Structure 1
Amino acid sequence: MNKYLLVLILLFSIPSFAQKQVNTQSGVWLGYFNQTRFTNKWGIWLDLHARRTDFLDRWATQIIRPGLTYFANDHLRFTLGYAYARSYPAAGLFTVRPENRLWQQVLWTSRQKRLQTQQWIRVEERFNRKIANDALRDGYNFNFRFRYLLNLMVPLNRDFIEANTLFFAFNDEIHINAGKQITYNLFDQNRLFFGLGYQFTKGLNLQVGYMNQFQQLPSGNHFNSNHVLRVFAFHNLDFRRKADK
């Protein structure tokens, strides 16, 4: 699968390289991810994001994303959810763009000695409020977005990731746009992250590191390369009765 993702990146981005213009930015992304399981089959998902640009100078994005999860088994789950996002404008502009987003996801995991993996495929239906002359207008721009994430975690002081484990984290996520209003930026962005994590308890870890967000803008030949300090907390809760686990 990874070979096909590389081919997609090349197909959507290389044709514009000869004339591309890349704007370099910096940012800080803070995130909280919660997966709570109530029964063998059902649980909920919630993630919250606060993102700043020009390191900590001004807001970039705020997101709240709840969902309902069906557990096929301990390593495969399906989530259906809604997200609300606020995207802040470039310096000198004032209008914040609201976005309503539906999303569907399949997530699967594996756990082996010295390696833990997580992958997901996510589909989003995005309704972005129209903006003209730095003011909100009636109506929405709509597009689909398809996302694939590969996450690798390697324990450094134990054979498996469990309480009190330091680990190396690497992940890459590609975003592909689709829809009638998408013309030049079928390739939306790629997020490459590496850093360190610490597993405090069975269900709580913190990951800190560097992420590069490389994004193609709607014009097709303009790109943002965002250098990000990323701090994410992952919190899994399990309220099943012991007899059901």
Structure 2
Amino acid sequence: MIASYSCPPIAVNGLVPSTDGLPGHGFLKKVRRLAGFCLFLLPYAAQAQTQPPSQPLGTWLIGTVQLPARERGWGGFVEGQVRSNALFDQVNYYEVKGGISYDLGPAFSAMVATGRYHTYNFRDLADGPQVLETRLWEQITMSQNVERLKFEHRYRVEQRWFGESTPENQAIQGRFRNRVRYRMNLMIPLNAMTIQPRTVFVSIYDELFLNFKAPHLERNRVYAGLGYQIDRNWIIQAGWVNQYDQAPVSIGDKNNVVLSVMYRLHRKNGERERLPTQVD
């Protein structure tokens, strides 16, 4: 939206008609004040014209291939993700990542993973990424079941390296940061007691992103969605996520539609209930 302001004519050299019924010195004083106010607003009007439009709803598209671990053993994953500023339009972000995991039992696992993250100006993708990040993380995941309620607690520590960025984002260029994340995920199968082939389920989570330096609360992410495990390999989910950011380059929150597809590689002696939680 383009902001515009108009100012009334201003008298020149203090020449104001003195004919009866026309404005005099008091009116001229008010006009000068109004003109000054209009000049004060001009920088903000120009800024409003140059800022990109804020879209109320974005899109996250996620594809994951997972090698599930046995009850005690190694596993892994690879994932790609694309995000857009608008609903299925104005692509401005993508990430690729992968990692290895080790299950210590049916309710406890550890993981080490890495990823590459690119943020663009959707108006001109050819300019290259505005923010480029490489990330390494270590995490522990614990799960517990209360009848059909499936709780998952995930604790993650991240090491983050920021590469080249645009002049507008010099605040993060060349910097290294640590970050801690905690996510609590609740999954509820609707037509079975466990999540297995041909199961419809609900997934809800809240995740906190914490920095060691201010701002300590960098991000909060809330998700709610509906999923379906088609067979032992394919799982699809559709949901909504609200992400609040308090970062050097942006402060605010945004709603997004999330569509995800997961493919699980089949392993012998690996058949047990596995929560299809999002890797990110």
Q: Is the contact between residue 96 and residue 116 of structure 2 (CA under 8 Å) also seen in structure 1?
A: yes
Q: What is the distance in 1 between the residues matched to 2:270 and 2:105?
A: 16
Q: Which segments of 5 or more consecutive residues in structure 1 lack a partner in the other structure?
A: 1-22
TM-score by length of 2: 0.67
2:185 aligns with 151
Q: Is the contact between residue 70 and residue 78 of structure 1 (CA under 8 Å) also seen in structure 2?
A: yes
Q: The residue matched to 2:248 in structure 1 has which SS?
A: coil
Match of 2:245 among 215, 220, 231: 215
Q: What is the distance in 2 between the residues matched to 1:125 and 1:191?
A: 19
Residue identity matched to 1:231: L
Q: What is the distance in 1 between the residues matched to 2:62 and 2:124?
A: 27
User: Is 1:173–2:173 an aligned residue pair?
Assistant: no
Q: What is the distance in 2 between the residues matched to 1:43 and 1:142?
A: 29
Give matches, 1:85-100, under 5 Å: 85-89=117-121, 91=123, 94-96=127-129, 97-100=131-134
Q: Against the structure 1 CA distance between its residues 167 and 91, is the aligned structure 2 distance closer, same or farther, given a 3 Å change threshold?
A: same
CA deviation vs aligned residue, 1:143-187 (integer Å, no higher than 9, x gap):
111111111111112222221111111111111122xxx44x221
Residue identity matched to 2:113: G
Q: Against the structure 1 CA distance between its residues 153 and 147, is the aligned structure 2 distance closer, same or farther, given a 3 Å change threshold?
A: same
Q: What is the distance in 2 between the residues matched to 1:82 and 1:58?
A: 26
206-215 vs 93-102, greater mean Cα deviation = 93-102
Q: Which segments of 5 or more consecutive residues in structure 2 lack a partner in the other structure?
A: 1-53, 272-280
- 1:30, CA displacement in angstroms? 1.0
- 1:33, CA displacement in angstroms? 3.1
User: Is 1:65–2:93 an aligned residue pair?
Assistant: no
Match of 1:49 among 74, 78, 81: 81
Q: What is the distance in 2 between the residues matched to 1:36 and 1:114?
A: 25
Q: What is the distance in 2 between the residues matched to 1:74 and 1:142?
A: 35
TM-score by length of 1: 0.76
- 1:123, CA displacement in angstroms? 1.1
User: Is 1:36–2:62 an aligned residue pair?
Assistant: no
Q: Count residues with an aligned counterpart.
A: 213
Residue identity matched to 1:43: G
- 1:59, CA displacement in angstroms? 2.0
Q: Is the contact between residue 55 and residue 85 of structure 2 (CA under 8 Å) also seen in structure 1?
A: no
CA RMSD, Structure 1 to Structure 2 (Å)? 2.7
- 1:55, CA displacement in angstroms? 2.2
Q: What is the distance in 2 between the residues matched to 1:106 and 1:66?
A: 16
Higher strand share: 1
Q: What is the distance in 1 between the residues matched to 2:269 and 2:224?
A: 36
Q: What is the distance in 1 between the residues matched to 2:270 and 2:149?
A: 27
Match of 2:144 among 110, 134, 138: 110
CA deviation vs aligned residue, 1:99-137 (integer Å, no higher than 9, x gap):
11111111122344321222211111111114343699x
Q: Is the contact between residue 25 and residue 226 of structure 1 (CA under 8 Å) also seen in structure 2?
A: yes
User: Is 1:192–2:222 an aligned residue pair?
Assistant: yes
Q: Against the structure 1 CA distance between its residues 225 and 177, is the aligned structure 2 distance closer, same or farther, given a 3 Å change threshold?
A: same
- 1:41, CA displacement in angstroms? 1.5
Q: The residue matched to 1:131 in structure 2 has which SS?
A: coil
Match of 1:227 among 241, 255, 265: 255
Q: Against the structure 1 CA distance between its residues 33 and 193, is the aligned structure 2 distance closer, same or farther, given a 3 Å change threshold?
A: same
CA deviation vs aligned residue, 1:66-86 (integer Å, no higher than 9, x gap):
111121112211111211111
User: Highest Rg: 1 or 2?
Assistant: 2
106-115 vs 75-84, greater mean Cα deviation = 106-115
Q: Against the structure 1 CA distance between its residues 25 and 146, is the aligned structure 2 distance closer, same or farther, given a 3 Å change threshold?
A: farther
Match of 1:26 among 54, 57, 67: 57
Q: The residue matched to 2:197 in structure 1 has which SS?
A: coil
Residue identity matched to 2:245: Q
Which structure would you say has the larger RCO, counting Cα contacts within 8 Å and 6 or more residues apart? Answer: 1
Q: What is the distance in 1 between the residues matched to 2:230 and 2:186?
A: 18
